[in-house]
Amino acid sequence: MEIQSDQNSAALQLEEKWLKRCSILRMPQIEQRGSTHSAEGYLKVSKTNIVIMIKSYKGLKMKNYLIIGISGFTNSGKSTIATMLSKEICNLDVMNQDLYFLEPDDPAIERDIHGIRNFEKLSALDMERMVQDVKLWIKSKTCNSDSLFILLIEGFLIFNHKELSDLIDHKYFIKITKEICFERRIKRQYIPPDPDGYFDSYVWPWTITNLMAIQDCTDIEFIDGTADLQALYKSILTRIMKIVFIHREKYF
């Protein structure tokens, strides 16, 4: 009986000790996630083991969406990978920057003395409309829901536009060689079609210029895109599933 009494006393002391630690270590974590909260939980005490389980957070501010950006050189596989990911991951929407190009005759698109239009700059895109569409998507998904929604934005200049880039949670940039870029470029049909010499005069020089503008950004992960497309896809899928898991652990 004395042994049992001593064990109960030790357990109570251990419980009191860990309750104090809980109030110091656990509750601040809750307060960081929301301005108002209440927590229901239980403390399971054994002789040497404490298990703290939080059953629910009431009034907790949860972010139930993620925005992921995949950028890279032209013809680096961005659109193909985005399509593959949309078939693999639930609740994932894709937004393509190519859909925001201005009409070819729009005066905002810069032209050289020969009338050749430069589609490799932000001025050739309606970025204001794209940003508004992203904000509308966020508004539509911000609700009290147990589901996690993902917006995958892909495009060659999505990180060069600050307002858009600031909305993106995780950023990946695919790099390929000039030779691979050219080989893939000439196999595609563009509207309007590339004029003779457009790749060497505009595509590649502006690819490097646009890269230099963001290459020192620490929140962008640069990925070698010269590998097999399937291997590249699996690599990016693994990265996304990891951040989805971390996000769920944090907010759900």
| pTM (2 d.p.) | 0.75
Give the tokens for residue 169: 């949670």
Tens digits of pLDDT across the chain (252 residues):
555 555 555 545 544 543 443 333 333 333 333 333 333 333 333 333 322 222 233 344 568 899 999 999 999 999 999 999 999 999 999 999 999 999 999 999 999 999 999 999 999 999 999 999 999 999 998 775 678 899 999 999 999 999 999 999 999 999 999 999 999 999 998 888 999 999 999 999 999 999 999 999 999 999 999 989 999 999 999 999 999 988 888 776
Active site members: 98
Under CATH, what is the fold of the domain 65-251?
Rossmann fold (3.40.50)
Instruction: Return the structure tokens found at 177.
Output: 């060689």
Q: In terms of DSSP H, where are the helices of 123-172?
A: 127-141, 162-165
The Cα–Cα gap between 38 and 52 comes to 16
CB 184 within 8 A of CB 203: no
Domain parsing of the chain, residue ranges: 65-251
